[in-house]
A and B are shown apart, each in its own frame.
Chain A
Amino acid sequence: MKILVISLLRVGDLAMTAPVLRDLRASLAPGAKLDLLVNSQSLQVAKLLPSIDSVHVFERDTIQKGLGDPAVPFFESYERLSSLLDVLNAQSYDTVINLTHTRLSGWIASLVQANRRVGLSFDQEGKATFGSNWFRYLNAQVEADGKDIFHYNDVFRFALGVQPSGGDAFKETQEGKEEAQAILAKKTNPESSLICVQALTSDTKKDWNLKSYARALKAFNERHSNVAVAVLAAPFEEQKLKPFVEDLRATGIDAFIAVTSFAGAFSLLKKSKLLITLDTSIKHLAAAAHTPILEVCLGSSDPYRTGAYRDGAVVVSSKETCAPCVHSRACHRERRFCDEKIPSDAIAMLASELYEKRSFQLSMIAESYGESIEVRRVRLKDAPFWTLGGIEESFTEANVGRLIDLTSRKIWLSGLNRSVDGVGHEIFTLSRMLRSMYPKTSEIEWRHVLSDFERQLMMIEGRVNSFKTGIRVLHGAYEDTTKLGEFVRGLIALREKIKPSPLMTSFKISLDQAIEDDISPAFTRFRRITDIVNEIDKRATITLRIIRSLGQQLDSANEAEHL
């Protein structure tokens, strides 16, 4: 079996998906070949992936430059790309997996000969194909915002049908170890512990002002004076960070700039007791190095899609309503309030807790600073999917409903509803997660919430049945714009009805797709509406099953108690 994975986004995106590649490798038979196609900038990360056999390089910059530069022969870019494709096709891949999800990568995926394609590709007629419901979902998720979405790694894992495996997502190299050793030699006290700090990002909107950052580190240092601080930097960032580091050193902190390659950063993180970071690719290295992570999330950072894929990672963001802002646009406000509202003390205290591997004060800190910041923690261990929630998530319909909705969506997208075992396992995992999140919630509270959910779903079932009848009537008459419009108005009314329910957020998203498409031809629109109504029908059945199973577990627990 030969597989090619296409990962043509940025370095951080490749670093983020390292656990997925590890799990994919673990799922393959011995002797299978797993290759990777990356941009040249990602090569230094690709070389650290133990799961990959060969790395092919897409010379994006050279090819792109060649297209625009009149001093470069016009057909050169074509020849470069064609040569690359010849090399890839000579490998005779069985499967091509496109984790990039851009039109560019989709066309490239379509050009690599293979029996099977997973992820975006284009067929003979130029129509998009996804090879999995999960990638079709990803296509729709791009438009969604908020927290009712799956982490990209989960989308990929579920699409590929791989389970989490143990083992390292990255490998340490000899060069990386030597780099790390050279940096550690800068410590004033060789016996002191180390923390790493990532102080800058590639996007100033995501940066936390260095004054506040310095204040946080000084406050941290007051509690932990025997800790060295390595300020990670790319070569071009060194000058900018010098005053920051000198300021720290002036207050007695053993701080130094650590300019490293990815390999060196990984080795350094393995020796570090904590990483304090902004939204950068370094957090993914830290996740793989099993380093505790404290992330300050500003600007357009969106942790729900690309957060550190590590259980227990803590994410701090401001409560400004404009966050996360649009990626490609400058801040539209007169000042960067998201940056200003992050209290240095809070960061210092959270860092201290993580450094000491404690968690009992996290919720107190979150509550104390709750007016200006939100403090959340990653749950991944023993969970059906990656989630980011409050340190002590309060037991509310919104929180529970959201998790049930995500589970229901996972079952649906993975096709698990076709198998009894599949659904049972997911419900079991969800149930376990809920019990650990809400250990003190009483049976009465659970029953109240579950029965409310059941009532909401039964209402939906009734409405969906009438829509199914409506579709049969509309079948021969969808060209009639009046009838179609009337039907869509019915869907709008349903959408308004379910809007407040956190249990049915994904139903609403699906309905949006049906309602807001007013440019497709009538047949295409009708077909989409039919598919969505059928989906909601099946999803409602799945969700109801989850809720009833959770209720039955309460009954079983009661019986066990009585016995």
Chain B
Amino acid sequence: MIEVLASRNGPSVIRLDGRYLASSIDPIREAASWAERALRASGDKPTIFVVGVGCGYHVAALKALARSEKHVIAMDPSSQIVKHALMFNPTLDPSDIVVEIDKLKWTANQHICDALLGEPFAIVTHAPTAQIHPEWVKETESFLLAREKTSFLLQLRLRPELFAHLDPKKIEAMGNETVSIKTLQSLFRGNGLADRQNPADSRERRIWRVLEELVL
């Protein structure tokens, strides 16, 4: 059950099934502190995925702190929560928030796809959301990391140039271990030379060649 309450310092907060999604005392101050830590943790990465929208204060604080230097995308499983967050934070742009509960549909979301490709990104998690939706948070993080089989295969859909170099039979036979560069090495077609079947994509294969050499 969603309840909208006033915090001690004034701004509204959401209580969902008895759990606060932000500080019941000073959610703005908490959000500012969270945003500083998140920005620091993101390092030089130009994009930040925020897993869990909650009351939206931390997302708004992060966007304000990062200004135009970082692209912030927030994700949440609940459209109702997001609706309230947008009300509490008029500066938040709805297009920067993705509401989707089904990970299989994330790769259909252009916003997510654009953020996943081209530049490194950081993942920061909203702890109250993790307490309320632990499975969803875990799946979202896993999807973004692409370190387990399903999420790796989902993200592979976004990379047809890479996919063209891989052997479908080997993909099918893939195990469930954490995805690493060695996993990818084992999926490539042929004997590891530039893929003669896909010469147009040899840039892709060569980049992975460089990465393989780093691991050797």
CB atoms of A68 and B145 under 8 A apart: no
From 171 to 206 in chain B, residues with beta carbon under 8 angstroms from any chain A beta carbon are 178-181, 192-194, 196, 199, 202-203, 206
From 72 to 87 in chain A, residues with beta carbon under 8 angstroms from any chain B beta carbon are 72-83, 85
Q: Does B34 contact A (CB under 8 A)?
A: no
CB atoms of B214 and A110 under 8 A apart: no
> Using an 8 Å CB-CB cutoff, how does the interface string of A114-131 with B read, 1 for contact, 0 for none?
000000001011100000
What's the minimum C-beta distance from A90 to chain B, rounded to whole angstroms?
Answer: 15
Q: Does B90 contact A (CB under 8 A)?
A: no
- The DSSP consensus for interface residues of chain A is helix
Q: Which of A63, A83, A102, A110 contacts B206 (CB 8 A)?
A: A110
CB atoms of B202 and A108 under 8 A apart: no
CB atoms of B207 and A67 under 8 A apart: no
Residues of A within 8 A of B120 (CB): 73, 76, 79-80
What's the minimum C-beta distance from B67 to chain A, rounded to whole angstroms?
Answer: 21
Q: Does A482 contact B (CB under 8 A)?
A: no
Given contacts A77-B211, A126-B194, contact A111 B203 (CB under 8 A): yes
C-alpha gap A102/B213 in the complex (Å): 9
Q: Which of B119, B147, B181, B214 contacts A60 (CB 8 A)?
A: B214
CB atoms of A81 and B121 under 8 A apart: no
Name the CB-closest residue of B to A123. Answer: B194
C-alpha gap A241/B35 in the complex (Å): 43
Q: How many A-B residue pairs have CB under 8 A?
A: 84
Q: Does B215 contact A (CB under 8 A)?
A: yes
Q: Does A103 contact B (CB under 8 A)?
A: yes
What's the minimum C-beta distance from A540 to chain B, rounded to whole angstroms?
Answer: 37
Name the CB-closest residue of A to B118. Answer: A79
C-alpha gap A315/B152 in the complex (Å): 55
Residues of B within 8 A of A63 (CB): 211, 214
What's the minimum C-beta distance from B190 to chain A, rounded to whole angstroms?
Answer: 10
C-alpha gap A261/B202 in the complex (Å): 41
Q: Which of B117, B194, B207, B215 contacts A81 (CB 8 A)?
A: B207
Name the CB-closest residue of A to B45. Answer: A76
CB atoms of B210 and A67 under 8 A apart: no
CB atoms of B211 and A67 under 8 A apart: yes
CB atoms of B119 and A79 under 8 A apart: yes
Name the CB-closest residue of A to B179. Answer: A74
How extensive is the interface on chain A, given as a class?
20 to 34
What's the minimum C-beta distance from B211 to chain A, rounded to whole angstroms?
Answer: 6
Q: Which of A64, A71, A76, A125 contacts B193 (CB 8 A)?
A: A125
Given contacts A79-B118, A85-B207, contact A104 B214 (CB under 8 A): yes
CB atoms of B214 and A78 under 8 A apart: no
C-alpha gap A554/B84 in the complex (Å): 99
> Using an 8 Å CB-CB cutoff, how does the interface string of B146-173 with A read, 1 for contact, 0 for none?
1100001001000100000000000000
CB atoms of B207 and A70 under 8 A apart: no
Q: Does B123 contact A (CB under 8 A)?
A: yes
Name the CB-closest residue of A to B184. Answer: A74
CB atoms of B215 and A74 under 8 A apart: no
Residues of A within 8 A of B210 (CB): 81, 104, 107-108, 111
Given contacts A67-B180, A124-B199, contact A74 B194 (CB under 8 A): no
CB atoms of A64 and B179 under 8 A apart: no
Q: Which of B116, B179, B206, B215 contacts A107 (CB 8 A)?
A: B206
CB atoms of B119 and A68 under 8 A apart: no
Q: Which of A74, A83, A124 contacts B152 (CB 8 A)?
A: A74
Given contacts A68-B180, A83-B118, A124-B202, contact A78 B193 (CB under 8 A): no
CB atoms of B146 and A75 under 8 A apart: yes
C-alpha gap A71/B207 in the complex (Å): 21
Can you give 27 A-B contacts (C-beta < 8 A)? A60-B214, A63-B211, A64-B215, A68-B180, A73-B121, A73-B123, A73-B145, A74-B147, A74-B155, A74-B180, A77-B211, A78-B208, A79-B118, A79-B120, A82-B118, A82-B207, A83-B118, A83-B119, A85-B207, A102-B213, A104-B210, A104-B213, A107-B206, A107-B210, A110-B206, A111-B210, A125-B193
Question: Which B residues are within 8 Å of any A CB, using their own CB?
Answer: 116-121, 123, 144-147, 152, 155, 159, 178-181, 192-194, 196, 199, 202-203, 206-211, 213-215
Q: Given A78-B211, A108-B210, A122-B194, 15 more contacts at CB 8 Å?
A: A67-B211, A68-B181, A70-B145, A73-B120, A74-B145, A74-B147, A74-B155, A76-B120, A81-B207, A81-B211, A82-B207, A85-B207, A107-B206, A107-B210, A125-B193
Lowest 8 A-B CB distances belong to which pairs?
A: A126-B193, A104-B213, A74-B146, A107-B209, A107-B210, A76-B120, A126-B194, A64-B214
